[in-house]
């Protein structure tokens, strides 16, 4: 694959063109400043708000988006991919000049056919492999940063040359630019976000949980694994020197240990999971699901964010960062970050959140550790001493159920679920089968929501389950009793699931009803009423 550098690009091609940067956020501001510093003629298109004010403060002429598009030979769409289809249809497409060059920083909307390109334009990709702050900082430092370019439509016959010229003007060809298709860029980007990143995160969470269960002090675990910054530094060295060469920076004990033990982690199932994610991306299933989720107001995303923020790990990280007197990188990012009012709102929000988490952590203590049947950390987390004694929770405080009792409770629960109006309403337009498998007891049961009927029973489901959950008996009891948040437990590795992630999350919409029914069945069975 050829890598293009400065000498492959000709700035003269765009020197006398009017360039409209649409959006003045992360990429918009960085690229607009770099283009101007490369001697080009740049205007900005944005709504009249904080972002527009910042562009004006940076001495750009700012216009409404449609006006900026109508004035430009080159239109750089640097707004979030989520809003791009609507903004493009309403404000960009009707005002695009004939022979304009339309530039995307991500292949997503074109690759997943959310945008219809008019025939008489060039459509190109100039996609930095760098966040906005880095795009500007690298340019100012004279370093450059890698980027992908691509051509979706070549009306002028010079589309690739335009993409290269723009890549040079923002500083990318100083480092090196590779050509890919829009689809390849979008798919690789999503793969990193949805497969590589989460798989890596799962290894991290599993390691944190294992080490906490084994009694290592929480702060030491976090410092060792990632919070000291040593691991991030090593990743930087891997990028700089390569995976093999960087090993020379480590002791021979480390080299021998990591290379000899690394073989243990060649796990075929991991490749299967990564492929599953890639297939979902390539087929467009993810893009369709995400578009649908957004048109519903993104309730699943809100739920996932909430669950992630409620993770005890989040609160521990916050405290440890403060204890370490960590220097956040805000100072470096600030010149390119959101406008001051937006930044102030974000800081207030962060403070509010930390306050909320502190309260929560104080109330529940190091709840996740308490929920575990395995040994507790040898050194309790300081925040685990609650300011007030935890409120009595009859279910959480109850002795674990034996197998026979759990089966009786589940049978009663499944019988009640079959006639519960809220569950039947949920089942109306759906056909979802879930299987629950315990990891520490020989017990499987299933629940099906299909065409208005709710059916369930012990054993494997009669039809294949779209979602199969595995957990310990204590976790199941905690989840159905409402004392344990299933999304959080999944993120913490206490629940593993196979099948459709979104279906698993959809079931959470009736989680409260399932909890109500289970708690009632549990009380009834255990009290013999
Ligand atoms: P931002 O979230 O930083 O974009 C913010 C800008 O978009 C603001 O100017 C905002 O103005 C404008 N905007 C937001 N919503 C709307 C709307 N509904 N109508 C009109 N304008 C809107 O985006 P990024 O810079 O992160 O991303 C831009 C592009 O760059 C995307 O295609 C992304 O995939 C790509 N990219 C991003 C990278 C990154 O580092 N973030 C890295 C590589 C590529 P206002 O709210 O005032 O309207």
Ligand 1 center to 82 CA (angstroms) = 9
SS (H, E, C) 474-524: HHHHHHHHCCCCHHHHHHCCCCEEEECHHHHHHHHHHHHHHHHHHHHHHHH
Q: In the prediction, which pLDDT does 323 show?
A: 79
Q: How far apart are CA 158 and CA 421, in angstroms?
A: 63
Q: In the prediction, which pLDDT does 392 show?
A: 43
Q: In the prediction, which pLDDT does 341 show?
A: 54
The pick from 20, 21, 22, 23 for probing ligand 1's pocket by mutation, whose C-beta has the most ligand atoms within 8 angstroms, reads 23
> What are the Cα distances from residue 27, in Å, to 24, 105, 165, 317, 328?
7, 8, 17, 29, 21
Q: In the prediction, which pLDDT does 483 show?
A: 83
Q: In the prediction, which pLDDT does 344 show?
A: 57
Ligand 1 center to 318 CA (angstroms) = 28
Percentage helix, strand, coil, to 5, in the chain?
Answer: 60, 15, 30
Find out whether the beta carbon of 23 lies less than 6 Å from any atom of ligand 1: yes
Ligand 1 center to 38 CA (angstroms) = 22
Ligand 1 center to 466 CA (angstroms) = 35
Find out whether the beta carbon of 274 lies less than 6 Å from any atom of ligand 1: no
Strand ranges across the sheet with 453-458 = 453-458, 444-450, 431-438, 467-471, 496-499
Phi-psi region at 167: left, alpha or beta (left = phi > 0; alpha = psi -120 to 50): alpha
Q: Please report the atom of ligand 1 found closest to the CA of residue 25.
A: 3
Q: Is 456 helix (H, G, I), strand (E, B) or coil?
A: strand
In order along its 529 residues, the chain shows pLDDT tens digits of 899 999 999 999 999 999 999 999 999 999 999 999 999 999 999 999 999 999 999 999 999 999 999 999 999 999 999 999 999 999 999 999 999 999 999 999 999 999 999 999 999 999 999 999 999 999 999 999 999 999 999 999 999 999 999 999 999 999 999 999 999 999 999 999 999 999 999 999 889 889 988 999 888 999 999 999 999 999 999 989 998 899 899 999 999 999 999 989 999 999 999 999 999 999 999 999 999 999 989 988 988 888 777 776 777 788 788 877 765 554 444 444 445 455 555 455 445 444 444 444 344 343 443 343 333 333 333 333 333 334 444 444 556 788 899 999 999 999 999 999 999 999 998 899 999 999 999 999 999 999 999 999 999 999 889 889 999 999 999 889 888 877 777 767 788 878 877 787 788 788 889 999 999 999 999 888 6
Residue located nearest, by CA, to atom 48 of ligand 1 = 47
Quick one: how far is CA 150 from the chain centroid?
25
The pick from 27, 33, 171 for probing ligand 1's pocket by mutation, whose C-beta has the most ligand atoms within 8 angstroms, reads 27
Find out whether the beta carbon of 131 lies less than 6 Å from any atom of ligand 1: yes
Q: How far apart are CA 104 and CA 125, in angstroms?
A: 5
Q: In the prediction, which pLDDT does 306 show?
A: 84
Q: In the prediction, which pLDDT does 371 show?
A: 41
Q: In the prediction, which pLDDT does 381 show?
A: 37
Ligand 1 center to 158 CA (angstroms) = 27
> What are the Cα distances from residue 366, in Å, to 17, 333, 390?
60, 33, 11
């Amino acid at each position: 694959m050829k890598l293009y550098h400065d000498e492959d690009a000709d700035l003269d091609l765009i020197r006398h063109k009017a360039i409209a940067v649409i959006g003045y956020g992360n990429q918009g501001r960085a690229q607009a400043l770099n283009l101007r510093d490369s001697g080009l003629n740049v205007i900005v298109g944005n709504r009249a708000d904080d972002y527009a004010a910042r562009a004006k403060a940076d001495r750009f002429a700012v216009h409404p988006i449609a006006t900026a598009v109508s004035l430009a030979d080159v239109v750089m769409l640097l707004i979030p991919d989520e809003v791009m289809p609507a903004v493009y249809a309403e404000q960009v497409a009707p005002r695009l000049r004939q022979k304009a060059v339309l530039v995307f920083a991500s292949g997503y909307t074109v690759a997943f056919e959310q945008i219809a390109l008019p025939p008489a334009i060039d459509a190109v990709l100039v996609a930095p492999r760098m966040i906005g702050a880095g795009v500007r900082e690298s340019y100012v430092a004279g370093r450059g940063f890698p980027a992908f370019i691509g051509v979706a439509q070549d009306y002028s016959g010079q589309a690739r040359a335009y993409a290269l010229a723009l890549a040079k003007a923002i500083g990318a060809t100083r480092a090196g630019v590779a050509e890919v298709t829009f689809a390849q860029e979008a798919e690789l980007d999503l793969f990193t976000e949805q497969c590589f990143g989460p798989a890596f995160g799962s290894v991290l969470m599993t390691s944190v949980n294992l080490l906490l269960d084994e009694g290592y002090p929480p702060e030491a675990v976090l410092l060792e694994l990632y919070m000291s910054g040593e691991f991030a530094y090593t990743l930087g060295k891997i990028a700089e020197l390569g995976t093999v060469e960087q090993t020379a920076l480590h002791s021979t004990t480390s080299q021998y240990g990591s290379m000899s033990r690394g073989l243990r982690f060649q796990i075929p199932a991991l490749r299967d999971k990564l492929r599953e994610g890639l297939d979902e991306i390539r087929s467009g299933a993810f893009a369709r699901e995400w578009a649908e989720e957004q048109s519903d107001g993104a309730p699943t995303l809100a739920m996932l964010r909430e669950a992630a923020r409620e993770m005890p790990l989040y609160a521990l990280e916050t405290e440890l960062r403060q204890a370490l007197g960590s220097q956040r990188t805000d100072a470096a990012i600030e010149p390119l970050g959101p406008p001051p009012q937006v930044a102030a709102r974000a800081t207030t929000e962060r403070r509010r959140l930390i306050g909320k988490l502190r309260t929560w952590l104080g109330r529940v203590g190091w709840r996740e550790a308490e929920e575990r049947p395995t040994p507790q950390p040898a050194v309790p987390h300081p925040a685990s001493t609650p300011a007030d004694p935890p409120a009595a929770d009859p279910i959480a405080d109850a002795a674990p159920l034996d197998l026979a009792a759990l089966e009786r409770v589940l049978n009663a629960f499944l019988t009640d679920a079959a006639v519960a109006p809220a569950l039947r309403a949920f089942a109306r337009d759906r056909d979802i089968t879930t299987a629950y498998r315990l990891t520490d007891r020989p017990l499987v049961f299933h629940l099906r929501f299909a065409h208005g009927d709710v059916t369930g029973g012990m054993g494997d489901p009669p039809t294949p389950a779209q979602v199969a959950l595995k957990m310990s008996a204590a976790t199941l009891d905690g989840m159905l009793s409402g004392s344990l948040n299933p999304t959080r437990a999944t993120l913490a590795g206490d629940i593993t699931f196979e099948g459709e992630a979104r279906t698993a999350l959809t079931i959470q919409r009736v989680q409260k009803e399932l909890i109500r029914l289970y708690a009632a069945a549990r009380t009834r069975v255990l009290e013999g009423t």
